[in-house]
Amino acid sequence: MEERLEGAGQSKGGDKGRSATHGIEEYEHAIREEGRLIGFACSCGFRTVTHILRCPKCGGADIAETTLATKGRIISFTVANMSSELFSKDVPFGYAIVEMDDGSRISAWMPGVKSADGIRIGERVCWKPSYRQGLVIEKEDQQ
Amino acid sequence: MKRAGFKATVEEVWVAGAAMSRFGKMKESGREAAAAVSLKAIEDAGLSPRDIGHTFVSNTLGIIERQAHLGPIINTALGVPEVPSLTVESACSSSSAALHEAFVHVAGGFIDAALVVGAERLSGLDTLAATSYFAMGTDYAFESKNGATFPSLYATMAAAHMNRYGTKAEELGAVAVKNHANAALNPNAHMQRPITMETYLRSPVISWPLRLYDCCPFSDGAAAVVVVNPQKFKGDLRCVPAAIRASARAGSAAALHDRADLTTIPSSRIAAEKALRQARIERSEVDFMEVHDCFTIAEILALEDMGFYPKGEAARVTSEGETCLGGKLPVNPSGGLKAKGHPVAATGVAQVVEVMEQFNGRSGKREVKGATVALTHNVGTTGGSCSVHVFQRV
């Protein structure tokens, strides 16, 4: 589901790549209203959910919009007993950095996780489209 | 064609004066504290405000006090409203970034003396509000909106470090115990009492695996230094200066999930490599360091990323006492952010105040005897920005 950005292939030397075609508002609409996790993929292999115009790994402009994988494994995590105002009614909750099966990475939260005993590095998780704010993940075996 | 007024690049740049407020809760506003430490630093150098060619000011969360554009306010208070000023924002590394700007201006010959001042007043905020303001320094759309706070981001780095290297809670606790012990010897520190390992281990978990005593406090405070071209002020200077042997900065991907490895902060590694190359010194020549320990894990990462210890070794050597006062390489003799306190924009320049206190024999019982070379390391957010400076006693 990758869509090359116009001019992206001519980037070598001239850096003629074009600005990314989805913005943060469209990303938020996609995760909330369309059930799609969208991001960007560089021809060097780097993939991310973060809004970028050039690749933070190789600096290249050969960036494509892409739909990211929705399943992956936890790279690291915490269980937050304190939060910002955005999540003050949700503590405690899990917060994890996840490597998706396509190699992209996301930051996400786990509403159901109340202690560090209930989660581990390497654990399989999946993104769950949700009415709640941000990216919500849950353990794959809960699906 | 040569531009008029452009001077030749200068060889030596010195920190010639320094001052800080007591960190903790302060009654006065950020602007008052900033003006007061600025005048003290200028007087410490033996100079007058009229000698200052440019003011570099950091006040990262000044909007809390409904005050932006602090530079002209400080310069007006100092009786030199015509002096140009610039606000430098780089999250927790703001005032070390301001110091870098001052260094560049003086080294480039644009001005002969610069004032660098950082100030922050956070005590008007409760913990929830302060955590929310701090969270604005993350990648807000892709980290904070998914639940991140600073404790939780550093907690994910701590968990990854523990998972890969077997780092233990007690080893993180050794950082806290050491830095509280040092702060107890520093009358300007926020935290004035030592803690035991038992106290550390009993403290509540804030963001697993980080406990309360893994975290720096929210502090108010202000700190200032004066940076000069010594050729212009020979005979005027009053205290022992610190020559800036290196002033280097670097960056990393803003969001943690965009970094290949959570157990390292790339900007720390790059800035330290640049700084050591600039200074032409070996790591073994550094007598002490003030490093960014907003959380205990941050001190461990700093020691490893800057190449002072191999990855996975810094926690062990810390628990063996190697980085204590009197150890092989004292780290954070001031008490660090962890216990001296962390008034965001004052922190970077306060590290340099400690260097001046040490070089001038003003550090009392926390003195690193015979120290002539010091390194400061100041991180913005989770390493999106990093400054490393190297100083030599003149």
Q: Tell me, what's the pLDDT at B2?
A: 60
pLDDT along chain B (394 residues), means of 10: 64 96 96 98 98 97 91 98 98 98 96 98 88 89 96 98 98 98 98 98 98 97 98 93 98 97 98 97 98 98 98 98 98 98 97 98 97 98 98 98
Task: Convert the pLDDT of each residue in B190-213 to its tens digit.
Answer: 999 999 999 999 999 999 999 999
Q: Tell me, what's the pLDDT at B124?
A: 83
Token digits for B166?
């077997």
Q: How many residues does chain A have?
A: 143
Is B179 within 8 Å of chain A by CB? no
Nearest C-alpha of chain B: how many angstroms from A12? 22
Is B125 within 8 Å of chain A by CB? no
Q: Say which of B92, B215, B294, B386 is annotated catalytic.
A: B92
What residue ranges of chain A have pLDDT lower than 70?
1-20, 143
Report the distance separating Cα B283 and Cα B310, nearest Å.
13
| Contact flag A109-B147 (C-beta cutoff 8 Å) | yes
Token digits for B113?
């003396």
Contacts of A135 in chain B (CB under 8 A): 146
Task: Convert the pLDDT of each residue in B152-172 to its tens digit.
Answer: 999 999 999 999 999 999 999
Report the distance separating Cα B74 and Cα B300, nearest Å.
36
Token digits for B264?
């390292």
Residue identified by tokens 């980085």 is B323
In chain B, pLDDT over 70 holds for what percent of residues? 98
Q: What residue spans define the domains of chain A?
A: 3-67, 71-142
Of A127, A110, A133, the residue nearest A37 (C-alpha): A127
Q: Is B114 helix (H, G, I), strand (E, B) or coil?
A: strand
Report the distance separating Cα B307 and Cα B311, nearest Å.
8
- Tell me the fold of B14-124+219-232: Peroxisomal Thiolase; Chain A, domain 1 (3.40.47)
Which residues of B302-341 form beta strands (DSSP E)?
A: none
Q: Is B271 helix (H, G, I), strand (E, B) or coil?
A: helix
Q: What residue spans define the domains of chain B?
A: 14-124+219-232
Q: How far is CA A104 from CA A65, A97, A100, B56, B380, in A?
A: 12, 11, 5, 40, 25
Which of B208, B252, B256, B301 would best serve as a mutation to test chain A binding (most A beta carbons within 10 A)?
Answer: B208
Enter the pTM of the model: 0.95
Is B386 within 8 Å of chain A by CB? no
Q: Tell me, what's the pLDDT at B63?
A: 86
Token digits for B216?
């720096």
Is B342 designated active site?
Answer: yes
Q: For A53, list phi and psi in degrees, rounded to 5.
A: -110, -25
Nearest C-alpha of chain A: how many angstroms from B120? 20
Q: Tell me, what's the pLDDT at A5?
A: 45
- Tell me the fold of A71-142: OB fold (Dihydrolipoamide Acetyltransferase, E2P) (2.40.50)
Is B239 designated active site?
Answer: no
Look up residue B216 and give its DSSP letter.
Answer: P
Q: How far is CA A64 from CA A17, A31, B4, in A?
A: 10, 18, 49
| Contact flag A134-B147 (C-beta cutoff 8 Å) | yes
Token digits for B93?
């590394």
Ramachandran bin of A27, using left for φ above 0, alpha for ψ from -120 to 50, beta for the remaining angles? alpha
Nearest C-alpha of chain A: how many angstroms from B267? 14
